[in-house]
Amino acid sequence: MRPKNLEKEEAIRSIALQIIAEEGLENLSMQKLAKAANVSPRTIYIKYENKEDFLIKLFIDEVLGSYEKAVMEKFNPDMGFAEGVKKIWTNSFRYFKENRHYYVLMQYGKSSPLLNKAYQDRDIKEGDFFTPIHQFLQLHMKAGNIIKLPVAAYRAILFAPLFDLINEYFEHTTRPKQIITDKVLADSCEAVVNGLLV
Partner DNA sequence: CAAAAGTAAGTAAACATTCATTTACTTACT
Partner DNA sequence: AGTAAGTAAATGAATGTTTACTTACTTTTG
Task: Give me the least distance between CB of 170 and a second copy, in Å please.
Answer: 10
Q: How far is CA 92 from CA 7, 42, 88, in A?
A: 27, 36, 6
Establish if 167 lies at the interface with DNA (CB under 7 A). no
Q: Where are the alpha helices (DSSP H) in the chain?
A: 6-23, 30-36, 41-47, 51-57, 66-71, 81-98, 100-111, 113-125, 131-142, 151-171, 182-196
Establish if 8 lies at the interface with DNA (CB under 7 A). yes
Establish if 150 lies at the interface with a second copy (CB under 8 A). yes
Task: Say if CB 106 and CB 119 are below 8 A apart.
Answer: no
Binding residue for DNA, selected from 22, 52, 61, 128, defined by CB under 7 A: 52
Establish if 45 lies at the interface with DNA (CB under 7 A). yes
Q: Which stretch binds DNA (CB under 7 A): 34-42, 62-70, 113-121, 151-159?
A: 34-42
Binding residue for a second copy, selected from 38, 120, 131, 173, defined by CB under 8 A: 120
Kindly write down the DSSP assignment for every residue of 171-191, as one continuous string: HTSSSS-----HHHHHHHHHH
Binding residue for a second copy, selected from 26, 78, 98, 182, defined by CB under 8 A: 26
Return d(Cα 37, Cα 58) in angstroms, integer: 15
Nearer residue to a second copy within complex by CB, 9 or 14: 14
Establish if 99 lies at the interface with DNA (CB under 7 A). no
CA 148 to chain centre: 26
CA 89 to chain centre: 12
Residues that bind a second copy (CB under 8 A): 21-26, 104, 107-108, 110-114, 120, 147, 149-150, 152-153, 155-157, 160-165, 167-168, 171, 179-180, 184, 187-188, 191-196
